[in-house]
Amino acid sequence: MLMLMLAQTMEQEGVRDRQVLEMLLGEIAAGNQEALAQLYRRARTAVYGLALSYVKNAQDAQDLTQDTFVRVWDAAPQYRPQGSPMGWVLTIARNLSLMKLREGQRKGELEEEQWNAIPAQAPSISHEDRLLVQNALAALEEQERRIVVLHAVTGLKHREVAALLELPLATVLSKYHRGLRKLKLRLEGDGIR
Amino acid sequence: MTDKELEQRLEKALSAAAPDDVEGVLSRCEARKGIVIPMKKRTTGKMWKSLAAACLALVLVGGGGAYYYQANAVASVVSLDVNPCIELKVNKSEKVLSADPMNADGAVILEGMDLKGTKADVAMYAIIGALLQKGYVDELANSILITVEDEDAQRGEKLQAELTAQADAALANAQISGAILSQTLQMSSELSAKAEEYGISAGKAALIEAIVAGSNGTKTFESLVGLSINELNLLYSAQSFSPADPEEIGVIGSGDSSTAIITEGPPIVVTGFASQSAYIGLEAAKEAALKHAGLSAGDVTFLEAEYDYDDGRMVYEVEFRFGDTEYEYEVDALTGEIVKYERENDGPIGGGGSLPSGDYIGESAAKAAALAHAGVKESDTQYCNAWLEYDDGRPECYEVEFMSGSTRYEYEIALTSDTVLKFESKNLGGQTASSGNAGSGSGTSGDIGSQGAKQAALTHAGVSESQAYELEVDRDWDDGRLEYEVEFKAGGMEYEYKIDGVTGSILEYEWDRDD
């Protein structure tokens, strides 16, 4: 019962966020650049996190983040409110990431990319954050990492994460819990709490 | 640290790592605005509208009252599925009597379009135009299903061919390499009942039935009903086009080609190729499987590589042979992750032949060792198979598999002694009984707790808690059932258990040497 009430409160917060995003997309469709700037500020971490979980290196993920918002600008007139504006933005990011990966494969870059999440120039990242993003996330399997990152930074519910990644909900839930557990173990091993 | 705190830290850290270059984005948006994309869209939009208007005008001039009754009798029903689903009722002279959306997306497409009285093929051209313009058909999902339902099969097929040609032309005009599935059906009450039950068109229902019929019982209607036409097309094409010649596999992979695959005879004609842009591609899937197997393309003979849908996801099935060993892989079509793999050696059965059998104990001894370890008599098994397992072309161990009651056993026995290297047993019975409580998310009333799970595993292994080390208990939901995964090591062995979280019964366990 308590769980249910908690879920409802969170649902309401989510509804407000969603309305703001829907409104921003409407403005972007009408050609308002300030709305795009606002959307960027709200969604850049989520888009970056998702792109990074596919391409695994900071440079490509940064490029994909920019490409995604440019694509959002172009495609916004075709957006129709359907309940998950963040899901729509992330679907674009996902598709661009997958295309990027395929492009790499066509060029014969078949080597498994190393997890390299810290941009070359990023003076503002603290040592602790570096450990978390670089070392701790590296301990996760690719899908676990993607699911944990999506849940942590996008505000999407597990159900929505499942829909975005086209995975069964049960898989998302179990990978999420396993991923978080691994993260905690790794963090405790590194002596940061 | 709670989960929530950990997530917040992760968000903060990623936010510091994420680019913050709004200027970079805006500068590129400015550059694009008005140059290519919006212009192109506006022109196409106008074109479709004026086309629809022109058709309407044409009909108003041509339409007379003399053949009123005949003209208003429905001869064929055409449905068009992408995700938007639209139904056209067409009379004997192929004029549209009505155009109705079958779902919400269909309504979006038909909005502002008056197709009544237009020729069916012209209506098709306009609808495909709207689908393209509104972004329902693109490089990621390019499949369209056209279904003609007509009592008169010949008339239906003629209409089917005309409509397919128009749809093709509309796609070509927009420079999209689309894939069109088309079929003519006799109206069947059974099919329409099924379509109604699932809220889909009869055409989509027929396509799903065709896939189910061709799946050798591996797929059900229910499991496929949620897939898009593009995904269904991939599955259908994979089934009806299983090349015997490995060379031809490359043809499916080269998605850009405009050559048509025409499947053997009716009912469903496929032209073009379903888009695989959302997926990693067949070549990448083959690479992933080869890499996992530690082989290179030159070493192996490919037997099969195709799309499939398994456990709720799109996968590539890749099969190849290396020496006497056949490899079967399932590769996640989105991520390239290996989902399942199997290796089967079909070398000389019976242990003789060219094998350096001198020091080997032989399959019957391996069988005996496994059965003795399990405490099962061969006469009590439903089946009992043993074979030499190869790794990289060299014999590695004996594998023994048998089933007794509802328990399946898998053993690995050493080559030259009756040592059990590894074994696994799985109780296949009773699973249905406990899977009934799916979805009862937080219900903890029947939870044995991690302590209970740990105890069940240790007791089963005959290990005391003080002997066990690196002990880990993980609470997990699997297929809606609460489970505990217990792992520990003791006495040079590694133990893994899966315990039912409600009953405490052992669902799966595996012992392995800790090396």
Contact present, B233 and B275 (Cβ < 8 Å): no
**Residue B351 falls inside a structural domain:** no
Contact present, B171 and B263 (Cβ < 8 Å): no
**Residue B42 falls inside a structural domain:** no
Q: What's the pLDDT score for residue A145?
A: 92
**Residue B323 falls inside a structural domain:** yes
Q: Which of A33, A44, A105 sits opposite B26 (nearest CB)?
A: A33
Judgement on whether residues B84 and B61 belong to the same structural domain of the protein:
no
Judgement on whether residues B241 and B125 belong to the same structural domain of the protein:
yes
CATH assignment of the domain containing B416: 3.10.450
For A193, name the nearest residue in chain B, comparing CA atoms only: B1
11-30 in chain A: CB under 8 A from chain B: none
- In the predicted model, is pLDDT for residue B491 greater than 80? no
- Interface mutation vs chain A, best among B8, B9, B316, most A CBs within 10 Å: B9
Judgement on whether residues B181 and B262 belong to the same structural domain of the protein:
yes
Contact A66 B22 (CB under 8 A): no
Which is more confident, B301 or A46?
A46
Contact B19 A48 (CB under 8 A): yes
Contact B10 A149 (CB under 8 A): yes
Of the three residues B72, B88, B105, the one that is the final residue of a domain is B72
Contact present, B141 and B228 (Cβ < 8 Å): yes
Judgement on whether residues B167 and B312 belong to the same structural domain of the protein:
no
DSSP string, A136-173: IHHTS-HHHHHHHHHHHHH---HHHHHHHHT--HHHHH
**Residue B29 falls inside a structural domain:** no
- In the predicted model, is pLDDT for residue A170 greater than 70? yes
Q: How far is A140 from chain B (nearest CA, A)?
A: 14
Tally of residues, chain B: 515
134-153 in chain A: CB under 8 A from chain B: 137, 142-143, 148-149, 151-153
The 10s digit of each residue's pLDDT in A25-75 is: 988 988 888 999 999 999 999 999 999 999 988 889 999 999 999 999 988
- The complex scores an ipTM of 0.87
Q: What's the pLDDT score for residue A50?
A: 94
For B30, name the nearest residue in chain A, comparing CA atoms only: A33
Q: For residues B293 and B328, what is the distance between their CA atoms, to the nearest angstrom?
A: 10
0.80 exceeded by pTM: no
- In the predicted model, is pLDDT for residue B376 greater than 80? yes
Contact present, B457 and B488 (Cβ < 8 Å): yes
Alpha helix locations (H) across B142-220?
A: 153-173, 189-198, 202-213
Judgement on whether residues B179 and B265 belong to the same structural domain of the protein:
yes
The 10s digit of each residue's pLDDT in B498-507 is: 888 888 887 8
- In the predicted model, is pLDDT for residue A93 greater than 90? yes
Residue range A2-189, CATH number: 1.10.1740.10
Q: Which of A44, A117, A126 sits opposite B20 (nearest CB)?
A: A44
SS3 label, residue B10: helix
Residue A105 touches partner B, C-beta closer than 8 Å: yes
Contact A95 B312 (CB under 8 A): no
- In the predicted model, is pLDDT for residue B371 greater than 80? yes
Residue A41 touches partner B, C-beta closer than 8 Å: yes
Contacts of B140 in chain A (CB under 8 A): 95
Contacts of B280 in chain A (CB under 8 A): 98, 101-102, 105
**Residue B193 falls inside a structural domain:** yes
Judgement on whether residues B140 and B289 belong to the same structural domain of the protein:
no
**Residue B443 falls inside a structural domain:** no
Judgement on whether residues B61 and B136 belong to the same structural domain of the protein:
no
For B68, B248, B317, B328, B393, the CA distances from B303, given in Å and listed in that order, are 59, 11, 10, 10, 18
Q: Which of B6, B10, B477 sits opposite A174 (nearest CB)?
A: B477
Least confident of A99-113, B37-51, B287-301, B375-389: B37-51
Judgement on whether residues B148 and B221 belong to the same structural domain of the protein:
yes
At B346, is the pLDDT very low, low, confident or very high (cuts 50, 70, 90)? low
Position B12: which residue type? K
Judgement on whether residues B171 and B299 belong to the same structural domain of the protein:
no
Domain count, chain B: 5
Judgement on whether residues B51 and B98 belong to the same structural domain of the protein:
no
The 10s digit of each residue's pLDDT in B73-97 is: 777 888 888 878 888 888 888 888 8
Q: What's the pLDDT score for residue B57?
A: 32
Q: Which of A3, A125, A173 sits opposite B16 (nearest CB)?
A: A125
Judgement on whether residues B129 and B66 belong to the same structural domain of the protein:
no
Q: For residues B322 and B392, what is the distance between their CA atoms, to the nearest angstrom?
A: 9
Judgement on whether residues B182 and B259 belong to the same structural domain of the protein:
yes
CATH assignment of the domain containing B485: 3.10.450.40
Least confident of A63-77, B103-117, B128-142, B482-496: B128-142
- Interface mutation vs chain A, best among B25, B138, B142, most A CBs within 10 Å: B25
Of the three residues B216, B247, B271, the one that is the final residue of a domain is B271
Instruction: Return the exposure string of B411-437: e unless at least 16 CB atoms fall within 10 Å of the residue's CB, then b.
Output: bbbbbeeeebbebbbbeeeeeeebeee
**Residue B25 falls inside a structural domain:** no
Contacts of A166 in chain B (CB under 8 A): 313-314, 334
Q: How far is B218 from chain A (nearest CA, A)?
A: 19
Classify residue B379 by its DSSP letter. Answer: G
Contact A80 B108 (CB under 8 A): yes
At B416, is the pLDDT very low, low, confident or very high (cuts 50, 70, 90)? confident
- Token pair for B16: 């510091």
Contact B14 A152 (CB under 8 A): yes
Residue B392 is part of which domain span?
Answer: 357-427
Residue A119 touches partner B, C-beta closer than 8 Å: yes
**Residue B221 falls inside a structural domain:** yes
